[in-house]
A and B are shown apart, each in its own frame.
Chain A
């Protein structure tokens, strides 16, 4: 009897859930997402709810729901992970908002419209703790990090865990001339006492506390540290790699949700949306470079002129991500 009650209860619950109005579910790892979702609801009247998490748990959620997706849009940094979702057929293709891209934007828009880039940062810059490293000793190139004076003083994130770090590793592989040279570089870094932490946050905490003197982290995090008056200097070695923040739309969503999701992207790309992104997380993700014409980065962000950056092609480096991360985990982390 109890079983029957339980079944009735569950069925009733399921039925009522199906009948209720469906808000747009936003899965996001961005620091400013709460502010953006609130502004979106206010501006459009479309109900939306946020699930904010790190990139790892978000992707795990998305992949575990493969057969019955419960999300509308997913938003995080890094085109390679988006490409992996697209390759599994989870993302809506051929959608591009009607905007004028700037030079940065044109570099990161995917040809098949499987996801939409909405911002850009640099995957790895050098953030130097000037209390640990004297100003005259500050490194300026990637090769400098292999010098004996920086032995045990350099830290970076684990590309398998931190979303923005694989593009950094792939970018270095690319600029050094390929997989072999890239592996040799990281092996040399490891020989010089490289520390590998989980994510930007942990690496920066080690930097601030003086456990390391040089952190290789995402540019927005470095600018945030500067804005928090930590004694750091930002170095942009030649080249740094462009890292887009991307939004993907659930391919299996209902037409209503897809239309709401497109409106969400339009809002994010609008002047109002970009303003909210630049104010929602001033110490971190808000320090991005806009990728549409007419928008400027917020005050304090290093001007993009004078920075030598490169584009990392997700179609080339996306498929190699598993292999390179596995190699990195086995050879550099452990």
Chain B
């Protein structure tokens, strides 16, 4: 029973349907995917990162090969920032993965009443830009903030939160949805018959839980790797909470090198190299699990939908307590603080009924200037998310196989994820603003940057579900004489349709609020939503900017909800795997 995959009677399998459905992918899709990834990620990143050694490459600085920028990047401040980032990545990765696993178990395998709220809340958190969460907490907890205005003094809480603990907590909360979405489909994949077999063999509850967790290893590793890399690459929290708490993170050090005087692309590039080195940790975790990925391929044609566990009373109390605390940290506090700010007439007068007004909302709807950016970003989000999904799918297919190419791509993707969007965006300027390649300043290039930025997370979200599709499914299809294209359309696609929808929505909502690439690459005269939002902050219109944020988040939530409802209504029954 030690081998989890014994349950399907296979031990040497490589997964799965993807590889089997086949020839098409191997011959046609693969080179195109590699080419596109090179254009979207590798070429621009390499252009930028090369500046760490050759500062004179694009007419910046002077001289040939040098190592002095690495020396500068390893001085006290930057080295401290790297250490902080590592701590934050590990801690928020562990916290978010554990929480995400528990939450996905509740929704997928328990009979907890109202469990659908979890799903909706996870989406809401995913849609929220991380800086919004951090700012919401700051509005509440900073000195003179909401808490103080309400007459509550909790200095210890303020000191605790405005520091490493707060940064870790907010990043973990922001990335719980990734862990949740990466693990949720897997609960359905570890079918009921496995648990029944374990019961029949008289295994203890503990052994059964351990076995179950081991079956979920690929999804857990994927979840941890995503959260770790995303936390390393996060800028929103680093620039708000981290900066306020004087807790430097690596992305913030890179930002300082890029956007502040003295500006140094080479220093930013050297710091980026070091940040990427940290992401090697996530690669290692993934590689360890990925090397034995076949053992976890359990979703075969014989799988039956799993059974839900009836929760006893104490477990329900525990579940609701965890949910309440998570909801409070991840959504309620930051959203309520932000919403409160948006209803405030004069900020300094703080919390009082007479100071509340709808004035800011009236202005939002009077400001027609915001509608253009909203529409532009929506269009870009749809296009870029579709591209990111297609590429992410192709990539996940390559990654789920064992090959040198897969390992190389894997590293490139995780490294790209750990870099702040700023680095990729700056790389795009160097790479595509050439006399013979004048793409800079076009919507097309911005779309490329969006797709390139979203692609790594998309492929991660799809990798878990894809790894669990057992190859026997593909073999069965071949025995029945189905051509590879048909296998793709009638076996693989239905199984992956739900994760694909998730990945698309995650990419699209991420693009809607993406700031660094938008700021550096947007075509003249066509500002995206995030650029328009930040403009109000710079104009000190805090009430107006928070009102705008509330409206934008609500609009995105509405669209996501509609799309999900449509999917549930329109998708064939077989496309949606549900526990019974």
Q: Which positions 41-90 of chain A face chain B at CB distance < 8 Å?
A: 49-54, 56-57, 59-61, 63-68, 70, 80-81, 84
In angstroms, Cα B261 to Cα A166, docked, is 9
B32 interfacial contact with A, CB 8 Å: yes
In angstroms, Cα B520 to Cα A232, docked, is 35
Measured between beta carbons, the chain B residues less than 8 angstroms from A132 are 144
A225 interfacial contact with B, CB 8 Å: yes
Chain B min CB distance to A156 (Å): 14
B263 interfacial contact with A, CB 8 Å: yes
Interface centre among A61, A285, A330 (most CB of B within 10 A): A61
A150 interfacial contact with B, CB 8 Å: no
Chain A min CB distance to B286 (Å): 30
In angstroms, Cα B77 to Cα A284, docked, is 34
Do B541 and A131 have beta carbons less than 8 Å apart?
no
B421-458 vs A, Cβ < 8 Å mask (1 yes, 0 no): 00000100110011111111110100000000000000
Do A225 and B429 have beta carbons less than 8 Å apart?
no
- Give the nearest-CB partner of A18 in chain B: B438
B110 interfacial contact with A, CB 8 Å: no
Do B347 and A60 have beta carbons less than 8 Å apart?
no
In angstroms, Cα B100 to Cα A280, docked, is 47
- Give the interface segment out of B18-26, B402-410, B531-539: B531-539
A99 interfacial contact with B, CB 8 Å: no
Q: Of B246, B436, B441, B531, which contacts A70 at CB under 8 A?
A: B441
- Give the interface segment out of B91-99, B252-260, B380-388, B459-467: B252-260
Q: Of B142, B438, B531, which contacts A209 at CB under 8 A?
A: B142
**If the complex has contacts A64-B58, A64-B426, are A57 and B259 also in contact, measured as CB distance less than 8 A?**
yes
Do B541 and A161 have beta carbons less than 8 Å apart?
no
Do A53 and B441 have beta carbons less than 8 Å apart?
no
Do B540 and A60 have beta carbons less than 8 Å apart?
no
A31 interfacial contact with B, CB 8 Å: yes
In angstroms, Cα B138 to Cα A210, docked, is 12
B369 interfacial contact with A, CB 8 Å: yes
Do A334 and B525 have beta carbons less than 8 Å apart?
no
A126 interfacial contact with B, CB 8 Å: no
B486 interfacial contact with A, CB 8 Å: no
Do A325 and B347 have beta carbons less than 8 Å apart?
no
Do A210 and B350 have beta carbons less than 8 Å apart?
yes
Measured between beta carbons, the chain B residues less than 8 angstroms from A224 are 540
A17 interfacial contact with B, CB 8 Å: yes
B489-519 vs A, Cβ < 8 Å mask (1 yes, 0 no): 0000000000000000000000000000001
Q: Of A49, A230, A283, A326, which contacts B525 at CB under 8 A?
A: A49
In angstroms, Cα B51 to Cα A115, docked, is 29
Q: Which residues of A contact B (CB under 8 A)?
A: 2-3, 6, 10, 13-14, 17-18, 23, 25-26, 31, 34, 49-54, 56-57, 59-61, 63-68, 70, 80-81, 84, 129, 131-132, 158-161, 166, 197-201, 204-206, 208-211, 221, 224-225, 228-232, 281, 283-285, 321-322, 325-326, 329-330, 333-334
Q: A50-B525, A67-B433, A228-B346 are in contact. List 20 more A-B contacts (CB 8 A).
A: A10-B437, A31-B539, A50-B524, A52-B531, A52-B535, A57-B520, A60-B426, A63-B265, A64-B430, A67-B58, A68-B434, A68-B438, A70-B433, A166-B261, A205-B542, A206-B144, A224-B540, A284-B538, A330-B77, A334-B248
Q: Which residues of B contact A (CB under 8 A)?
A: 31-32, 35, 58-60, 76-77, 139, 142-145, 148-149, 239, 243-244, 246, 248, 256, 258-263, 265, 346-350, 369, 426, 429-430, 433-442, 444, 519-520, 522-525, 527, 531, 534-535, 537-542
12 contacts between A and B (CB under 8 A): A2-B31, A2-B32, A14-B436, A25-B524, A60-B520, A63-B263, A64-B58, A64-B430, A68-B433, A80-B261, A208-B348, A333-B246
